[in-house]
Amino acid sequence: MAHNPQAPQNPQQDPAGSTQMFRAFVDEEPPQRRAQQSASAGPRIGLILGVVVGVLALAGAAWIAFG
């Protein structure tokens, strides 16, 4: 049988330790997500302002055309 270098060297190793480390990794919030949440308000405000400016431009064009 071939030697597997990725196999655990100690067969009596407690798997609960790796499970705890995995849960800590999964529960950890990456820094990109925190920065993305705080920066997501910027594009939303820009979108709202763009829609407002577009509606005002259409209203102005309609007022000139029908006035």
Per residue in 1-60, pLDDT (tens digit) is: 566 666 656 656 656 667 777 888 888 777 665 555 555 667 788 899 999 999 999 999
- Is 6 strand, coil or helix? coil
| Helices assigned H by DSSP within the chain | 16-27, 31-39, 41-66
Question: Is 90 exceeded by the pLDDT of residue 63?
Answer: yes
Residue 67 has pLDDT above 70, yes or no: yes
